[in-house]
Chains A and B, each alone.
Chain A
């Protein structure tokens, strides 16, 4: 009897240690994609670090309730998404200083304030870094829920069904959000891209 108890205690202790090890392994596996998703969500490294670390702290705390039959990454992204949306709402309640980079709120969502770019030179070929910053700015102009679906779909490669699970919404909502997000991204990004056998006579609006 006593031996059985001792064995069980040992097993639990070992289980506890291996659980930490298991979590650590999963964290190693997903840290790059979580950090990069956080970077695209928040738009800056400082907030991304906070968001990504907070997500893993919360995941670690809730790891006991994580069921092995669900995919860890989806469970994790659900935490990231909720944390991010919460943070956005919190910040909305206490707005910071007004910035020219901040999107302007309209009935149709948000739009970017446009100031003439005196340094823009049509002859300069867009390098990777400037594409990156344009994409970041375009993503930042989207409302958080719309930004999330684009990140989860195009950057993280999830299906509509998976995104619906992660964001706790329906596939239909994911589909319509993606449609509207793509439309907005197309309007903000395409004019800055090099033309690719584009026929200007067929102007789209």
Chain B
């Protein structure tokens, strides 16, 4: 369809940015083409809407000469400082930049060597570092609560209250299920509304202060 060719010219036609030949061509086309004439009219309405947007007043003090000069001075001083710093520590900053990837590669090589050649449990130690045990306080939603020293096959329920300090209203009860992972009992808090505060483990005798939750990264 030839319209496609003209359609691409309409925007520039509207802005009077076409050559005289192009202008004449578009003019002739839109007389006979209702579609392009309609598109042109819509472009014109969009342009007019933008042109007629009301000017917003400048906020007071934004373009105060004192502020502009002070900021320009601060910027110049900061740039001078950075430049001086780079001159002074240029060589060391190069070493610093080289050290980071070197250390990274070194670590990656060292882990399997230590693990398999020297039989040092590195990955276990790293996992241990990442496993963060905390006393149950305000638990985030979806956090696994590990209750140690509990009968692994036992079931109980957990009362969730908003917080000890506030009204202490009961939010609901959660079933505590035993997991197969060792003697740890994993409690999954799934409803985010219920995950604020774990107070007592009814029927188990375990209280909040005895429980810990583990966050696995």
Contact = CB atoms under 8 A, between A and B. Distances in A.
Interface residues of B, number: 37
A204 B55 contact: no
A45 B55 CA distance: 13
Nearest to B67: A53
A15 to B, nearest CB: 16
Question: From DSSP, what is the main secondary structure of chain A's interface residues?
Answer: helix
Contacts of A132: 53-54
Given A135-B53, A155-B53, A61 B65 contact: no
B58 A185 contact: no
Given A31-B63, A198-B38, A204-B39, A186 B71 contact: no
Contacts of A189: 45-46, 49
Given A27-B63, A53-B63, A179-B8, A190 B46 contact: yes
Contacts of B56: 35-36, 39
Interface in A94-121: none
A149 B35 CA distance: 26
Interface of chain B, main secondary structure: helix
B59 A193 contact: no
B58 A199 contact: no
Nearest to A154: B50
B113 interface: no
B75 A49 contact: no
Contact of A24 (B12, B50, B58, B65): B65
Interface residues of A, number: 46
Nearest to B74: A57
B109 interface: no
A45 B69 contact: no
Contacts of A45: 59
Interface string B26-56: 0000000011001101110111011101111
B72 interface: yes
B121 interface: no
A36 B55 contact: yes
A159 B18 CA distance: 12
A159 B17 contact: yes
B15 A178 contact: yes
Interface in A151-174: 153-155, 157, 159-160
Contact of B72 (A49, A52, A60, A157): A60
Given A31-B63, A35-B58, A53-B68, A204 B46 contact: no
Contact of A57 (B35, B45, B71): B71
A57 B42 contact: no
Contact of B38 (A135, A157, A182, A204): A204
B35 A202 contact: yes
Contact of B12 (A28, A175, A183, A186): A175
B58 A160 contact: no
Contacts of B50: 135, 150, 154-155, 185
B11 interface: yes
A136 B157 CA distance: 53
Given A32-B55, A204-B38, A182 B46 contact: yes
Given A20-B69, A57-B75, 8 more contacts: A27-B63, A31-B62, A33-B55, A53-B68, A61-B72, A159-B17, A160-B15, A185-B46
Interface of A: 20, 23-24, 27-28, 31-33, 35-36, 39-40, 45, 49, 52-53, 56-57, 60-61, 128, 131-132, 135, 150, 153-155, 157, 159-160, 175, 178-179, 182-183, 185-186, 189-190, 193, 196, 198-199, 202, 204
In the A-B complex, list the 5 residue pairs whose CB atoms are closest, starting with the nearest. A154-B50, A179-B11, A57-B71, A31-B63, A182-B11
Interface of B: 8, 10-12, 14-15, 17, 34-35, 38-39, 41-43, 45-47, 49-51, 53-59, 62-63, 65, 67-69, 71-72, 75-76
